[in-house]
Amino acid sequence: MIANATVTANPLLIGKGLPPFAAIKPDHVVPAMTQLLAELDQELTTLKTTVTPTWQGLVEPLDRLAERLRWSWGIVGHLMGVKNSPELREAQETVQPNVVQFVNKLNQSQSLYQAFKALRDGEEWSNFEPAQKRIVEAAIRDAELSGVGLEGEKRDRFNEIQMELAELATKFSNHVLDATKAFSMTLTTPEEVDGLPPSLKSLAAQAARAAGEENATAENGPWRITLDFPSYMPFMQHSTRRDLREKLYKAFVSRASSGELDNNPLIERILELRQEKAKLLGFDSYAELSLASKMAPNVEAVEGLLEELRQASYDAAVKDLEALKAFAATKGAEEASDLKHWDISFWSERQREEKFAFSAEELRPYFPLPQVLDGLFGLVKRLFSVTVTPADGQAPVWHEDVRYFQIADETGTPIAYFYLDPYSRPAEKRGGAWMDECITRAKIMEVGTTSTRLPVAYLVCNQTPPIDGKPSLMTFGEVETLFHEFGHGLQHMLTKVDYPGAAGINNVEWDAVELPSQFMENWCYDRPTLMGMARHYETGEPLPEHYYQKLLAARHYMSGSGMLRQLHFSLVDIELHHRYQPGGDETPVDVRHRLAKTTTILPPLPEDAFLCAFSHIFAGGYAAGYYSYKWAEVLSADAFAAFEEAGLDNQEAIATTGQRYRNTVLALGGSLPPMDVFKAFRGREPSTEPLLRHSGLVGVS
């Protein structure tokens, strides 16, 4: 699958196939998007006058139009995440308002909206497949949520809000990236790096070299510690210097909360605009607007689930902290009776090492990336009968470290492809890990012949890069992250739906979309899977059995605290979008501190500005939807329980169950409501029991 060899004058205007990344420059963005939007605007005008309420006369031409926009603008969005630069930012900010304007115009077209309603009420309807019906119903709902019913001043105001919200989200995200990049701590003496593992010293010396310290070495320094996660987290876990941990922690939690990069006013404005938008559409709160297109029926149902999980995890989290204090006391730590936030990771890691007799660092040599990929690909072959093979060189890439792979079915026929961008690049790549669509599966009709366009996914992680001649050695957490993102990728790539509007993750309710990703994480603890990939990168020796047993034992370690942390974020998110009144007596920070009383064991510090870096809800798609992680985790734990019931060591039963999972959860995409898809796989509605059991919290509450 090779991109066109001949690139038109502007590579962002090709409109199909793999993006020619090597040819794309920031200065292509403005002319390409300006030309494209003018052409699409013309097409839209024509379509509005010629539209007929049929699949061919409405849905297909709209798909083609949306596809061209998604292709070009999608590349810009992707590069903003993986190859950010001042030039690209400026270009993106220049054209974003025009894109938002066009999307509003498209979503608010009365003639298209009426055509969709006529299609739903027409004769063709009874012959439609479920996927087609879902696409039409979603189009009607989305038009209504996009203000199609508004007129005059209300519509103008709605469009102004959409425009400003898009700008604020980009600004918020850039502030977080810049604030993360702006802080660093250069250490020069052995005392300052006491306790740090060799892998972090190597990374920190590499960072120092990149910053101009040409002679920096892992042994002698200087060492540069940053707020980038592969640097920040190991430092917090291993540095014996409490003063430096405090400094780093405070820098991390106060990112983007002061000076030119202050996100506080942006948060206030975003919440105000979202509320105004919800009211314009006839909702009492933005949370209600958000849930109108999700699986959860209402705010009460969301808060009910979160409260059930909170009660199951709160007491466990209290015990976690007490146990940690007692442990620190046995080690003669002065701070034992009064552990601070910057002590938790350090003492948790010490206690984990002693309790389970291993550290996260010790396992790294057993998880070199190439081997982990072999293990992951072996698992999907075992479960879903698909084969993953490298296809490097067959696709243009945006960075030399990016890999390209092919997925083939049982007969060896290619069915999908994906890019993998595994390593952290703090100067140009945003933190975290994500999956995104490059190309969506669809039936394409060209010159009288029909063909299936194969899906292509972007999988992006931020793990430790290869250093000093060693491969990328992963922590077990990084292994879980890779499995997680690959789960998203599988839903995108193994879809059997041929309508782009419901293929893969499209049209899957947001709070069900984490099911396949969280499902995959469970396999990291499955013996054949783990033992199949964990081998020492130098000696080839398999992971010793005692490590496997300890990993299993450590799985529930502090899981009450881990769950409570997620519930804290979720409840703050819902509260800010449901009951909070902008300009009232409380600030967003006050709301967080009020909820922290029942959702944290150590209350946040006064300078903790976590909300200022909470990109998920202020710059991503999780507004009034952060609960989705827990909602979907109930589904994913229950889905994995089906494999446990079949018998994890019964290969035949696993393959049969895997085929059923592939044919339902992965294949059906957004063609059916997620509850119907879940019931098609499981034969019943989901239960919270497997999640509490997998978290070691059954019987705790």
Active site residues: 485
Please answer whether residues 619 and 630 qualify as being in contact, where contact means their C-beta atoms are separated by less than 8 angstroms.
no
Query: Which amino acid type is present at position 140?
Result: I
Closest CA to 642 of 603, 682, 669: 682
Token pair of 284 as six digits: 């009492």
Please enumerate in sequence order all residues whose Cβ is within 8 A of that of 519, keeping only pairs 6 or more positions apart, or say none: 487, 636, 639, 640, 665
CA gap 661, 668 in Å, rounded: 10
Residue indicated by tokens 């996009």: 146
Token pair of 89 as six digits: 């930012």
Query: Which amino acid type is present at position 550?
Result: K
Token pair of 638 as six digits: 């229950």
Please answer whether residues 637 and 312 qualify as being in contact, where contact means their C-beta atoms are separated by less than 8 angstroms.
no
Token pair of 619 as six digits: 């710059």
Closest CA to 248 of 192, 198, 176, 202: 192
Q: Report the 10 Å Cβ neighbour count for 177.
A: 25
DSSP secondary structure letter of residue 56 = I
Q: Report the 10 Å Cβ neighbour count for 75.
A: 22
Please answer whether residues 462 and 431 qualify as being in contact, where contact means their C-beta atoms are separated by less than 8 angstroms.
yes
Please enumerate in sequence order all residues whose Cβ is within 8 A of that of 279, keeping only pairs 6 or more positions apart, or say none: none
DSSP helix/strand/coil, 387: strand
Long-range contacts from 602-609, C-beta under 8 angstroms, 24+ separation: 602/321, 602/339, 602/340, 602/341, 602/344, 604/253, 605/250, 605/253, 605/341, 607/250, 607/253, 607/254, 607/257, 608/253, 608/254, 608/341, 609/253, 609/254, 609/255, 609/256, 609/257, 609/263, 609/264
User: Residue 333 to residues 209, 255, 319: CA-CA distances in angstroms?
Assistant: 35, 29, 19
Please answer whether residues 609 and 589 qualify as being in contact, where contact means their C-beta atoms are separated by less than 8 angstroms.
yes
DSSP helix/strand/coil, 453: strand
Strand-strand pairing, 414-423 and 456-463: parallel
Please answer whether residues 672 and 287 qualify as being in contact, where contact means their C-beta atoms are separated by less than 8 angstroms.
no
C-alpha dihedral over 628, 629, 634, 635, to 10 degrees? 70
Strands (E), 409-514: 414-423, 434-439, 442-446, 449-453, 456-463
